[in-house]
Structure 1
Amino acid sequence: MYKVFVNDKPFFLTNEIIKETDFKIFLLESTDIKQLVIKMFNNKIKKCYLYYPDEKVMFKKLKEKIPVQRAGGGLVYNKNGEVLFIFRNGKWDLPKGGKEKREKMKLTAMREVEEETGVNKLSITKKLQKTYHIFKRNGIYKLKITTWYEMKSDYEGIPIGQAEEGIEKVAWLNPEQIKEALLNSYENIKLLFEEEKLLQ
């Protein structure tokens, strides 16, 4: 099953018929994805399931219906065990950005962390899960697939946000501060911290 966020509201791609309770179920094959996304953006649908019988190809089917943008990002630790956060559009987020042509995803993630925060001396410690969300740019809805990596950095300087990307603040947050920041963050970001077992 895949969890895709539209304005922080989820839809689930599934190959199981689930008995409806507080959500709607649609057939992926015949659903107009754009109309569904518009309804979710306008709060007409809070949560739904998209059903397709074959789990192996259901994500491919979704990608046939909506343009895809690939991105890479980092959950970066310093030597004090703090995590690098950025503050943009009124929310706490992690540094990430779009993949360039023929660029390896690991390099995308490291480049974006450095560009958005000024933090370098990065090394990847492991690959984390991918996250999925739909956004609108220039009137077009796109599915953003972000590949996340856990990284560490020995950077000693003061991180500086990339102004042209609208980053107002960059901060190293300790576990207590992370809990607070996640109250004003995105569902995708919370998923990463659940995976990292940092939300207990």
Structure 2
Amino acid sequence: MYQVFVGDKPIVLTDKVELENGFKNYLLDTVNIGKVIKELSKTDLKEVRLIHSKKEKLLKKFLKKLPNVIAGGGKVYNDNGEVLFIYRNDKWDLPKGKIEGNETIERTALREVSEETGVGGLEIVKPLETTYHIFKRNGRHKIKITYWFEMKTNFNGDLIAQQNEGITKVEWLNNGRINEVLKNSYANIKLLV
């Protein structure tokens, strides 16, 4: 099962058909993805489920429905066990950004975290869950596929928000503060944290 978010509402990709209760079922092969996005955005529908009989083909078939944007990002820990967060578009988020040229996704994640936050000395510890969300740019919907990595650093210099990317704050947050800021974050970030 995969979840692709439209705002904070999921499109669930599944091979199981269940009785509709607060959600709608559609067949993945024939669904009008524009209609699904509109329904999730403009109604009180909680989720949409796209059904396909072959579990292993769910994601591949879905990703053909819209243009894909590939990104890499990091859940970065410092020596105090705090996690690096950014504040952009009135929401708390983890640093991430689009792949450039033929760089590896790991290189993208390291570069973007550093550019968006000013943090250096980053080291990838392990890959985390990949997230999917639909956004609209220049009147067209696209699917952002973000490959996340757990990272660590012993950096203790100044945090520098990349303002030309709309980032207004960068902060190291402890567990108590993380729980507080997640109330004003994105569904896929809540899954990661």
Any idea what the Cα deviations from partners look like across 1:32-76, whole Å, max 9, x if unmatched? 112211222223533110001111112111122111111000000
Give the aligned partner of residue 132 of structure 1. Answer: 132
Give the aligned partner of residue 109 of structure 1. Answer: 109
SS at match of 1:87: strand
Please give the residue correspondences for 1:81-160 in structure 2 after superposition, counting only pairs within 5 Å.
Answer: 81-160=81-160
User: Alignment length, in residue pairs?
Assistant: 193
Distance 1:53 1:20 in 2: 18
- Alpha-carbon shift at residue 118 of structure 1 (Å): 0.5
Give the aligned partner of residue 173 of structure 1. Answer: 173
Give the aligned partner of residue 38 of structure 1. Answer: 38
Any idea what the Cα deviations from partners look like across 1:103-149, whole Å, max 9, x if unmatched? 10100000000000000100011110000100000001001110100
Runs of 4+ in 1 over 6 A off after TM superposition: none
- Alpha-carbon shift at residue 17 of structure 1 (Å): 1.1
Identity %: 52
Give the aligned partner of residue 22 of structure 2. Answer: 22
Give the aligned partner of residue 52 of structure 1. Answer: 52
Distance 1:115 1:184 in 2: 23
Give the aligned partner of residue 188 of structure 1. Answer: 188
**What residue identity is the alignment partner of 1:50?**
L
Distance 1:40 1:103 in 2: 34
SS at match of 1:121: coil
Is 1:5 the counterpart of 2:5? The answer is yes
Distance 1:29 1:67 in 2: 17
Which segments of 5 or more consecutive residues in structure 2 lack a partner in the other structure? none
Normalising by structure 1, we get a TM-score of 0.94
* Conserved 8 A contact 2:40-2:48: no
- Alpha-carbon shift at residue 191 of structure 1 (Å): 0.3
Normalising by structure 2, we get a TM-score of 0.97
Distance 1:107 1:181 in 2: 28
Distance 1:180 1:56 in 2: 37
Distance 2:181 2:84 in 1: 11
- Alpha-carbon shift at residue 18 of structure 1 (Å): 1.5
RMSD: 1.0
Give the aligned partner of residue 72 of structure 1. Answer: 72
Is 1:62 the counterpart of 2:78? The answer is no
